[in-house]
Amino acid sequence: AARRRAGLGAAGRALLPPPPVRPQPLPHGDREVHEKEAQFNTTYSDWVHANLLNIYAFNHSVRRNRTEGVRVSVNVLSDQKDQPVLFVVRQKEAVVSFQVPLILRGLYQRKYAYQEVSRTLCQPQTKAEVETQHFYVDVSTLSLNTSYQLRVTRVENFVLRTNERFSFNATAAQPQYFKYEFPEDVDSVIVKVTSAMAFPCSVISIQDILCPVYDLDNNVAFIGMYQTMTKKAAITVQKKDFPSHSFYVVVVVKTEDEACGGALPYYPLSKNSSPDEPVDQHNRQKMLEVMVSPAITSEAYVRSVLFCLGIFLSFYILTLLIACWESCRQHKRKGLLAAMDSPSLDTGHSRGIPDSFLNHGPYDSYGYGSFGNGSSSSTEGITDSLGSAEVSYSYVGQEQFKRRTPSGPARPLSIPMGERSLENVASRPRLDSLSSVEEDDYDTLADIDYDKNVIRTKQYLCVADLARKDKRVLRKKYQIYFWNIATIAVFYALPVIQLVITYQTVVNVTGNQDICYYNFLCAHPLGNLSAFNNILSNLGYVLLGLLFLLIILQREINYNRALLRNDAHALECGIPKHFGLFYAMGTALMMEGLLSACYHVCPNYTNFQFDTSFMYMIAGLCMLKLYQKRHPDINASAYSAYACLALVIFFSVVGVVSVVGTEGGGWLSPGLTASSLLALQVFGKGNTAFWIVFSVIHIVATLLLSTQLYYMGRWKLGEGGTGSEVGGDSGVAPCVTSPVPTDSGILRRILHVLYTDCVRQCSGPMYVDRMVLLVMGNIINWSLAAYGLIVRPNDFASYLLAIGICNLLLYFAFYIIMKLRSGERIKLIPLLCIISTSVVWGFALFFFFQGLSTWQKTPAESREHNRDCILLDFFDDHDIWHFLSSIAMFGSFLVLLTLDDDLDCVQRDKIYVF
């Protein structure tokens, strides 16, 4: 065994490589070395060639409590770019080497040569109170007789002072960096760099006190935080991120301006020149100014959070006070009603209640609708039979339809209400008591389908005509809006949160602050979040959305209690109460706050649709709610409504995703993957085919929706067709227009409809009010489609949102005008909500259009729009937009909720449909 081990040891020694051979020094005759003592602030003009090495020895005293910068400047006077001169600076803890001409690469590997180079040396740490440090500058080359100039100087103002401005110059080959030390009582500072000239493009970097310092265009992104700059740059730095409580501010001028949105320089190519030949950029210099100032303290964070909570919690208190006042008023009103309804001691008859008290004076003269077509008294339109098993409702000029009711005695309720009395209405059964809850309970007979077509195509409609379906079925139908949007919110929000957390992590790890478009002059970090103030300001959407849900819940509870006690007003008066859409609106407002906060974690063009998706939903739900108020039976189902909104969001995503470089000098935003370039080129917002397709779909959808609304869903192109309603209720019925044989072709039927409805009746449309609304809507939508096709706005998501908002405002204005034109009035609370909400919207839009940043430009150009905080030194203009817009949306929802409160005591057969 010993021999075996010995043999293995010998074999192992035989396999080991031989020791390295030390390089032998060259003979003095082959390489000449000149070493000389050198002084600061002295220019040395010398020659160097292949057999000559020049060494300059410098020494200087370094104090522990004082930092001085040392800068080496070199200028090579010869033009031999293919045989550069190498400069090596040897220090105690670092070695810096660079060649002159200095070659830096740009886009597409373009070469740029620089004859003058200046570098600031990294200062090693010293432990002694005073220490003498030595460093050497070696100059060598392989070319023949190259002349150069060398100068070493001390950097004035190398250490930046708090709240003091310092101006300096920099070029691509002469970068600058300075040191800043945190004061004892300062935990974070903001470094602001400004310049009067936008170009050349530069990079601002914050690096730890380490050697070497990365201060060239090709390595400045290797470490620390950095951002490109034209005229403004700002980086917030926290003491906890730097163990030495100090950092370097590095300023580098880029070789090209493409990263800042500038044009690429002219790259000359001739027959005699090589494509890889360096280009001399001559004097590419930029003058800058830097200032370091303390950021806000932790007390400012607490004060701002309390301020934000105080604003929105005050709405809870105000709502509670108004609810208490309204409750007291209702109790007084009920007491007066009871007193008026009780028998008089003198006459034994019940006292009458003045119409002015019940708020239906303006409706006494109504003589249209289901009960006004040929009847002098609206009481003829409906007949109640107490004590019988059936209640028969008779519409004048139409077939009767019946509904079942349990027999039994009931106390008559006599309330004078203009032309029609609510006598014995309290004895009518609630429709919720029906055993069947299908939507087609009234459609059990064939003639009912006929009645449905006749009723909905009358020239004058009332709410009773479009509120015939089972309340319980409709309530479930509209509750689906809430459950669907809650499901959508969960499945939409979870991946969004995951994505923005990934974005923030990438920003923190790489230090690339060009990924996110903040207002860097007012971006206050908290934990891993770079701009906590932009997230906090979205709290209003969540709190006010929750408050709106609580208000709706309280209203629904009161309404259900009224139904349980067979309240006549709840059963037969006012706009039918359906709360599902209101719940969906409140949920959408809360989700808007959450997703807006997610977007502002790292705002950029790739996730802007997070901020706008639920804005589309809010606009769509508000329009649906306005339509539902007077068309409860034929409103859109939740499935079709959300399908349309999903289509809108799909177009938003397709339109937003685009190659921004086609409009910004070839610039591609960070995060754009090569695999998506083909899809971007096909579906990008700059693509002509995309805009044509979108505009055609926009116009066709507008025409189809206009036809659907004009005919209340009761239109068909042929006798054998199937009627379609917005709410999904369809059935076979005679055509509204003149029938054409089914086998004559779709084209012929379309032409026949156009002839009968547009040519023969063009002098006077049957539904004038609807026609006015739809004509205005088509003009606006066609104009928006033409604008998009011609201008092709960069912000496609905002363009889509503008379409939705314009249509919502048009319909809302039409609704209010028609309400007043119909003799209805607006009560005090909705009137105050309309006025205050309009004012708040005006101020909100003012702050929105300040434009503190824009992802339609490069990050450097976007920073030119950055501004300081204007509220509590914590919130900027966009934060105030969040505050005001959340309040304005909440007010808009309250307007929709309370707008028709004046109709609560008005019979539905006396309420216009428009």
pLDDT tens digits along 393-440: 333 333 333 333 333 333 333 333 434 444 444 444 444 444 344 444
Q: Give 267's pLDDT tier (boundaries 50, 70, 90).
A: low
Total count of residues recorded for the chain: 914
Secondary-structure class of domain 34-156 per CATH: mainly beta
422-434: burial string, b at 16+ Cβ within 10 Å, e else: bbbbbbbbebeeb
Give the model confidence (pLDDT) of 331-349 as tens digits.
Answer: 777 777 666 655 554 555 5
In sequence order, what are the residues at sequence separation of 6 or more whose Cβ sits closer than 8 angstroms to the Cβ of residue 788? 691, 694, 695, 698, 799
pLDDT of residue 95: 86
pLDDT of residue 545: 94
More confident residue, 779 or 393: 779
- With a cut of 90, say whether residue 356 has pLDDT above it: no
Q: Residue range 613-622: average pLDDT? A: 90
Examine domains 34-156 and 163-263+283-295 and report if their fold is the same.
yes
Q: Give the separation between CA 174 and CA 118, rounded to whole angstroms.
A: 5
- With a cut of 60, say whether residue 455 has pLDDT above it: no
Q: Residue range 60-75: average pLDDT? A: 81
Q: Give 582's pLDDT tier (boundaries 50, 70, 90).
A: very high
pLDDT of residue 25: 43
Q: Give the separation between CA 854 and CA 859, rounded to whole angstroms.
A: 8
Do 475 and 580 meet the contact criterion of CB atoms below 8 Å apart?
yes
Q: Give the separation between CA 473 and CA 727, rounded to whole angstroms.
A: 13
User: In the chain, helix, strand, coil percent, each to 5?
Assistant: 45, 20, 40
Q: Give the separation between CA 799 and CA 780, rounded to whole angstroms.
A: 13
pLDDT of residue 83: 78
Q: Give 765's pLDDT tier (boundaries 50, 70, 90).
A: low
Rounded (10°) angle between helices 471-510 and 608-630? 170
In sequence order, what are the residues at sequence separation of 6 or more whose Cβ sits closer than 8 angstroms to the Cβ of residue 431? 403, 470, 471, 472
DSSP assignment letter at 758 = I
Do 501 and 596 meet the contact criterion of CB atoms below 8 Å apart?
no
Q: Residue range 626-647: average pLDDT? A: 86
More confident residue, 188 or 26: 188
Q: CA 95: distance to chain centroid? A: 49
Task: Identify the residue whose tokens are 């101020």.
Answer: 843
| Mode of pairing for the β-strands spanning 69-76 and 116-121 | antiparallel
Give the torsion sign (CA, 789, 791, 795, 799).
negative
Q: Give 381's pLDDT tier (boundaries 50, 70, 90).
A: very low
Q: Give 19's pLDDT tier (boundaries 50, 70, 90).
A: very low
DSSP assignment letter at 166 = E
pLDDT of residue 275: 56
pLDDT of residue 712: 65
Q: Residue range 877-892: average pLDDT? A: 93
pLDDT of residue 713: 55
With pLDDT > 70 as the criterion, what percentage of the chain qualifies? 71
Q: Residue range 320-339: average pLDDT? A: 78
- With a cut of 70, say whether residue 854 has pLDDT above it: yes
Give the model confidence (pLDDT) of 522-531 as tens digits.
Answer: 999 998 898 9
Dig out the tokens for 759 from the structure: 């040519």
Average pLDDT over the chain reads 75
More confident residue, 600 or 212: 600
More confident residue, 457 or 851: 851
Dig out the tokens for 130 from the structure: 């005073």
Task: Identify the residue whose tokens are 């003149």.
Answer: 738
Query: Omega before 101 cis (within 30°)?
Result: yes
In sequence order, what are the residues at sequence separation of 6 or more whose Cβ sits closer than 8 angstroms to the Cβ of residue 181? 159, 245, 246
- With a cut of 60, say whether residue 508 has pLDDT above it: yes
Q: Residue range 471-475: average pLDDT? A: 80
**Rg of the chain in Å (alpha carbons):** 39
In sequence order, what are the residues at sequence separation of 6 or more whose Cβ sits closer than 8 angstroms to the Cβ of residue 690? 654, 655, 682, 683, 684
- In this structure, the number of other CB atoms found within 10 A of the CB of residue 549 comes to 18
Q: Closest Cα to residue 597, out of 487, 486, 497?
A: 497
Rounded (10°) angle between helices 688-710 and 768-791? 180
569-599: burial string, b at 16+ Cβ within 10 Å, e else: bbbbbbbbbbbbbbbbbbbbbbbbbbbbbbb
Q: Give 547's pLDDT tier (boundaries 50, 70, 90).
A: very high
More confident residue, 893 or 51: 893
Q: Give the separation between CA 326 and CA 813, rounded to whole angstroms.
A: 28
**Main-chain dihedrals φ then ψ at residue 630, nearest 5 degrees:** -115, 5
CA distances 844 to 598, 702, 839, 849, 878, Å, are 21, 30, 9, 9, 9
* Domain extent listing, the chain: 34-156, 163-263+283-295, 365-466, 687-715+724-791
Do 390 and 405 meet the contact criterion of CB atoms below 8 Å apart?
yes
Give the torsion sign (CA, 363, 366, 368, 372).
positive
Q: Closest Cα to residue 69, out of 176, 214, 219?
A: 176
Secondary-structure class of domain 163-263+283-295 per CATH: mainly beta
Where is average pLDDT lowest: 287-301, 765-779, 832-846? Answer: 765-779
pLDDT of residue 373: 38
Do 185 and 290 meet the contact criterion of CB atoms below 8 Å apart?
no
pLDDT of residue 191: 93
Do 480 and 637 meet the contact criterion of CB atoms below 8 Å apart?
yes
- DSSP letters of 782-850? HHHHHHHHHH--S-HHHHHHHHHHHHHHHHHHHHHHHHHHTT----HHHHHHHHHHHHHHHHHHHHHTT
Give the model confidence (pLDDT) of 77-131 as tens digits.
Answer: 876 667 788 999 988 878 888 888 888 887 777 788 888 888 888 877 777 777 7
Q: Give 673's pLDDT tier (boundaries 50, 70, 90).
A: very low
pLDDT of residue 357: 43
Rounded (10°) angle between helices 608-630 and 796-821? 20
Q: Give the separation between CA 869 and CA 862, rounded to whole angstroms.
A: 17
